[in-house]
Structure 1
């Protein structure tokens, strides 16, 4: 996923100034994209405008600097839809930004693409569980460094595996519930 996809998704909902985009990314969007410096946002908006994906209007503000307010163009909507409909390849770690951003953008714009994204993620996670859940997780030691506490190491290793397995199980349950809601025609909440 590229930063412009996040910006296009935000502009699909409503026009924003660069400042508004930065504020949204810092608060509501903190799980969809790592921190973005304002210069990065304005540079990307300039590039997107040069590509014809967005256009801006100047919002004159009394007593404050004028603001450029950006809105999506038909070309920008086409680029956004192309990303939404492009093949989704799940990463090895679950709950990654690409899934969250792509699904949250696809769901209100293209129902079938949203269903496909969730199905792909769910199938991948089920296969990942099948491959890994029962594997041998025994820690093996050969000439460990002095002071390494093997019992603590085993306990921590087990605790982290249990945490990861529980997180994966919750993720799969959420995917199943979401897929059911999407395919039963119920709104996603």
Structure 2
């Protein structure tokens, strides 16, 4: 997912300065987008302004430098709404930032699109579980290093699989609950 859509999604809520966008991404948005450097934010805002997706107003600040407050333009709104309906293809790993960012933007703007998005993610993760959960995970050794503790290697491999399987199960349960809540008009948790 492109970073500009994360920024457009935030600007759909209210005008932000580049500094405030960075603060939001570092705190509330830390599970929605990987850390973004302030220069990346300002470059994207400048490009989005050139593209006509945002415009800025100068917000005078007493005793501090003036701030540029960015807001969506009609063209930016159209770009954001068009993005909500672009195809989503789940990535290999679950809980990828792409899904989280897309869901956080899509759900409050188009509930039906959010329902489709969660359904696609859920179907993909269920297929991953069906394909991989009970596969043979036997480790094979052929001339291993003498320092390699094969018994400990098997234990670690099994423990990591169990950890990953439990995390995937929690993710699927969250997707199922979220899909049910969205469909039934209940609060998303």
Q: Give the TM-score normalised by structure 1.
A: 0.98
Per the alignment, residue 114 of structure 2 pairs with 114
Per the alignment, residue 181 of structure 1 pairs with 181
Per the alignment, residue 62 of structure 1 pairs with 62
CA distance in 2, matches of 1:103, 1:35: 18
SS at match of 2:56: strand
SS at match of 2:12: helix
Structure 1 segment 28-177 matched on structure 2, within 5 A: 28-177=28-177
Residue pair 2:9, 2:80 contacting (<8 A) in 1 also: yes
Tell me how far 1:177 sits from its aligned partner: 0.5
Tell me how far 1:74 sits from its aligned partner: 1.2
Tell me how far 1:90 sits from its aligned partner: 0.4
Work out whether 1:25 is the aligned partner of 2:22.
no
CA distance in 1, matches of 2:133, 2:159: 14
CA distance in 1, matches of 2:171, 2:35: 25
Write out per-residue CA displacement over residues 100-157 of structure 1, whole angstroms, 9 at most, x where no aligned residue.
1111111110011000000000000011100001100000000111200000000000
CA distance in 2, matches of 1:170, 1:52: 41
SS at match of 2:58: strand
CA distance in 1, matches of 2:136, 2:59: 62
Residue pair 2:33, 2:97 contacting (<8 A) in 1 also: yes
Residue pair 2:32, 2:104 contacting (<8 A) in 1 also: no
CA distance in 2, matches of 1:113, 1:30: 23
Q: Give the TM-score normalised by structure 2.
A: 0.98
Tell me how far 1:187 sits from its aligned partner: 2.8
Tell me how far 1:39 sits from its aligned partner: 1.2
Structure 1 gaps of 5+ residues are none
Q: Root-mean-square deviation (CA), in Å?
A: 0.8
Tell me how far 1:83 sits from its aligned partner: 1.6
Tell me how far 1:38 sits from its aligned partner: 1.2
Equivalences, count: 189
Tell me how far 1:34 sits from its aligned partner: 1.9
